[in-house]
Every structure is written in structure tokens, then in C-alpha cells.
Chains A and B, each alone.
Chain A
Amino acid sequence: EVQLVESGGVVVQPGGSLRLSCAASGFTFDDYAMHWVRQAPGKGLEWVSLISWDGGSTYYADSVKGRFTISRDNSKNSLYLQMNSLRAEDTALYYCAKERSEALAFDIWGQGTMVTVSS
């Protein structure tokens, strides 16, 4: 079964750090670019970051640039998001998503992990 499972979401204080993980199974992980997308409570989807299949290229939304770092370990079929200098506005459900090879389309999503930034 093709699956993505996120973990690592917790309640953290403003200014704190957190690392999210996403475990992939059921497909050849290192064939595909991967993304993080977030959704604040009651709000729409917001793209966060992209990493190429080999980890050689990374891109970030302006809202997280300089604070978040995306990475992957293809030997472990895992995607990560290191989140530093967290703010209240980073509170959201964080999804990892697989990109189709022939189009900018996210064909597999995890169920998300909740990050709450609050004192």
C-alpha cells in the first residue's frame, strides 16, 4: 500500500524548534520530489517546501525561508522538516506529499501531524 505517515507534531513555545518526519512506503521513494504543505485550523492549504528526488535542490515559501529546512534520507525512505524560530502563525496541520513525476500534482498525502506554537 502506498502510504505517507507524518510524525513529530507537538505543542512548542514561540521561538522553539521541532523536527517533523514523514515515513514513505509502497513506492520507490527516491524517484520522486517531495513536499511539505500546511493547513492552519479552519484555513486553506499553504505550500511550505519542496525537495528534489536526490535532495540536491530545495525551495521554500517566503513565510518559512531561513527558519525551516527540508531534507530527506533515501536510504530510510524518509522526509524531514526542521523547524526553528517557531511563531504562533506556524500553528498548523503539516502534511507531507509526493509529487507526480509528470506534473506538478501531489498524488499521495499523509494524514498530517499537528504543530501548535503557544506559550
Chain B
Amino acid sequence: SSELTQDPAVSVALGQTVRITCQGDSLRSYYASWYQQKPGQAPVLVIYGKNNRPSGIPDRFSGSSSGNTASLTITGAQAEDEADYYCNSRDSSGNHLGVVFGGGTKLTVL
């Protein structure tokens, strides 16, 4: 199956901009979606498709993609954005309707 690679940990100063990346061959064919997970809680969808935010997600969250890399950008990070972030996409390896998740990135807001 395909793999999606994320940096294990990223930090950002309060109010600054941070980019979290996700790399994988499947991203050449499919958009990534992004999820935020806080301790003890279920994941929450924050970005999907080309750059779409579900209702209730602040507009400081945005998504982009180039080649085999998808990115989640938080512009003006807030303390409440400290969480684990996961990307996912379709699995392009042959199991065409399978799904693959990245390993997750722990975001620390300093």
C-alpha cells in the first residue's frame, strides 16, 4: 500500500505562521484531507479537497498541494491549535478505494 510521510513534530510561536507537510505518491493523483486531533478527542476534519474548510473551521487554516506534497498552513497560530495533525488520501498503490493516513505531526504552539 501507499505511504504518506509527515514530520513527527513542528513548533510555532504564538501568532506566527506554520506549514505542516505530507508527502506521498498518492498525492500526485488525489487531494489530501487534514484532521486535527486533541488529546482524548476524536479527530476533526479541518481541510479537504483543493482547499475547503468545513463549517466552523477558522479561516486561518488553509491547504495547498504541489506534486507529491500536500501542505496545511495555519496563519496566525493560536494556543488552541496545539494538537496532532494527520493527512490522508486515497491509496494509489492498486487498492484504489483504500485509504492511507500519514503518521501525524505534533504541533506545539510556543
Counting CB contacts under 8 A, is B99 at the interface? yes
- From A37, A46, A102, A107, give the contact of B45 (CB < 8 A): A107
Q: How far is the CA of A90 from the CA of B75 in the complex (A)?
A: 38
Which residues of the other chain, A, contact B52 by a CB distance below 8 angstroms? 103
Are A59 and B101 neighbours in the complex by a CB distance under 8 Å? no
Q: Tally A residues with Cβ within 8 Å of B.
A: 24
Give min CB distance, A49 to chain B, whole Å: 9
Q: How far is the CA of A37 from the CA of B44 in the complex (A)?
A: 13
Q: How far is the CA of A107 from the CA of B45 in the complex (A)?
A: 6
A47-B99, A59-B95, A61-B98 known; A102-B43 Cβ under 8 A? no
Counting CB contacts under 8 A, is B71 at the interface? no
Which residues of the other chain, A, contact B1 by a CB distance below 8 angstroms? 61-62
- From B31, B35, B49, B95, give the contact of A45 (CB < 8 A): B35
Are A47 and B33 neighbours in the complex by a CB distance under 8 Å? no
Residues of A participating in the B interface, judged by any CB pair closer than 8 Å: 35, 37, 44-47, 50, 57, 59-62, 95, 100, 102-107, 109-112
